[in-house]
Amino acid sequence: MRILALGDVVGSNTADYLKAKLWSLRSKEHIDFTVANGENATNIHGLSTADAEALLDSGIDLITLGNHAFGVKDIYSYLDAHEQSIIRPANYPPEAPGVGYTVRDVCGWRLLCINVSGRVYLDPLASPFDTVDRILERESGTYDLALMDIHAEATSEKLALARYFDGRVQVMFGTHTHVPTADEQVLSGGSGYITDLGMCGPVNGILGTDAEAVVYRFRTMMPTRFSVADGSIRAQGAIFDLDESSKRVRSVTRITF
């Protein structure tokens, strides 16, 4: 099984870029399942139903979210109605719209897909460690393999989660910082891991945001409106090559297109 995980999608135009590129890439790389974080796809802070549909139409099988999950209100009912194709961090309170995990059929295997948010420099949600422990216990026997998007700011928190769940969650990757890390690896328990996938979005801004507005904010510390940067788009992520029978990842390879 080959799983492609894509970094945070920034801006509505990126969905068009992915639609033009992703299907051929999936064929070339023999990708069986594609997951992408979509929390910045609509004006940086959130995801609309229209942009969610566009991402799913582009060749993405599952959308994960993060701290901007509820930035666009029309996504609330969509989250409840499309639990197989879009999930939000599982450690939000249960009253939040949507679900934090789902089980998908991939090549005849039951793949448990989990989305979780870190707490360092982010919202004080429930413990991601305890939350995922409970999910794995609750869903025991209903899945064969597991995947987790760790949407977090701190590198240490992401790696701590990866070490803790090594061997229990086969595919683990970080999102949120929009900067790809060079630590792709197979951990001792056989799980594949990378601290951050990077970003799918405009390359001429700052993390996909218009550079002038960001520089102004840093220089003056005054509030300013952020917008998606213009210019060429690039997609970043990683391919996880997984041996289903041994439940071990053979390799993790960064990819840019």
What residues act catalytically?
A: 68
**Residues 248 and 168 sit within 8 Å (Cβ to Cβ):** no
**Residues 7 and 16 sit within 8 Å (Cβ to Cβ):** no
3-state secondary structure of 253: strand
Residue among 77, 11, 87, 22 nearest 49 (CA): 77
- Distances, alpha carbon 127 to alpha carbons 102, 160, 162, in Å: 19, 12, 14
As given in the structure block, the two tokens for residue 24 are 């051929």
**Residues 51 and 41 sit within 8 Å (Cβ to Cβ):** yes
**Residues 221 and 199 sit within 8 Å (Cβ to Cβ):** no
User: Residue 188 carries which DSSP code?
Assistant: T
**Dist CA 117 CA 23 (whole Å):** 29
